[in-house]
Chain A
Amino acid sequence: MHEMGIAQQLVKIALDAIPKDLKNPRVEIIHLKIGKLASVVEHSLTFCFEIITKDTLLENARLEIDSVPVRVHCRSCDQSWEVTGPVFKCPFCEDGDVEMISGREIEIISLELEETPCVDQPQIDKQ
């Protein structure tokens, strides 16, 4: 539901990261890491991203989302495991104190830009 807000933050970070000295930079891919327990719906994020990047340097850029599994650790018995459903109960000691290790990330990892020369090509004097 708040994907528009996330898309806006994402666009701001991505635009700030584009080097200022590039001529006509064109971003092709934005790599993201999103935890499976983060409240982000991928297609909503993509939809919002497409709307707000119109007429910007990010127009037509593609979001590549790397989904991060939910991993937890039991402080009581020191076991770690991947959670694939909503149950976080420790399967080893039942009443354990369970903490999350991963699965809530919403991170921007990198941008891939189309290869373009940084400066104008020097004119070759044919004479």
Chain B
Amino acid sequence: MEIKIQKRVLEVNETEAEKNRKFFREKNVFVLNMMSSPGSGKTETLFKTLMRLMPKVRVGVIVGDICTTNDADRLVKTGARVIQINTDQFGGDCHLSAPLVMDSARKIGCEDIDLLIVENIGNLVCPAEFDIGEDSRAVVLSVTEGEDKPLKYPLMFRVADVAILNKIDLLPYLDVDRDLAVDNMKKVHPRLPVFEMSAKTEAGYEPWLEWLKIKVFEKTGKGL
């Protein structure tokens, strides 16, 4: 006896992500999902981004980690509203799911912010699979990770809307081909905008900030 089903297995998350999207539209907030492997410099990139965007663009941050509140403790110093999610209470999940993001978004409030950044769990695989109701997805790759990561983790670079090549200040000390790293990202995602920058020295920050401000303005009419 055969029973036909034909259902998407992640439908529950997808339905919740759509609810999130509606909520963020009502609150008039642009949502950026930031993803990368652990240690790519996501938090430092974010720290410097917040320092330069605030207070003109009002930012809220949801930080996902399996354990510790280290990232939230760092980011709160920028004056942004920050909330930490630790997934160890939920089974040590390797990604943030739509319902978790909604819980935190409600706690943050979203009433008087223009941009909500979700710093996802450091992982180049799983977060790419889970829609959280974001408007754009950013992937951060640091030059220390090697040029071939986009080819090894194609889904992450396929689903991204923008990429940051971070830690370019370290290039003189590494045998890394920066152009090849960018070229590999473009092989996976030909029209992906890539910003080459250093969160430490803030080299190359302007084009990235400009991209982000335009995105926030396009959705919300705020922040420029």
Using A95-B190, A96-B190 as known contacts, say yes or no to A39 and B9 having CB atoms under 8 A apart: no
Check: A18 CB closer than 8 A to any chain B CB.
yes
Within 8 Å CB of B187, what residues of A?
A: 86-89
B residues sitting closer than 8 Å to A (CB atoms) are 1-12, 91, 93-95, 97, 123, 125-126, 128-130, 150-152, 154-155, 158, 186-191
Total contacting residues, chain A, CB less than 8 A: 39
Partner of B3, one of A1, A18, A88, A89: A18
Closest to A29 in B: B2
Q: Give Cα distance in the complex from A109 to B114, angstroms.
A: 41
Judging by beta carbons under 8 Å apart, are A109 and B4 in contact?
Answer: yes
Q: Judge if A52 is at the interface, Cβ distance under 8 Å.
A: no
Q: Per DSSP, are chain B's interface residues mostly helix, strand or loop, or mixed?
A: mixed
**A97 located at the interface, meaning its Cβ lies under 8 Å from any Cβ of chain B in the complex:** yes
Query: Can you offer 12 A-B residue contacts whose CB atoms are under 8 A?
Result: A2-B94, A9-B12, A14-B5, A38-B129, A87-B151, A88-B190, A89-B186, A104-B155, A108-B6, A110-B3, A110-B6, A113-B1
CB pair A106 B126 closer than 8 Å: no
Is the pair A100, B158 in contact by a Cβ cutoff of 8 Å? yes
Nearest-Cβ distance from residue B181 to partner chain A, whole angstroms:
14
Q: Are B126 and A13 in contact (CB under 8 A)?
A: no
Contacts known (A38-B129, A39-B128, A86-B154); A98 close to B190, Cβ less than 8 A: yes
B190 CB → nearest A CB, Å = 5
The residue in chain A whose Cβ has the minimal distance to the Cβ of B125 is A39
Partner of B158, one of A37, A97, A110, A113: A37
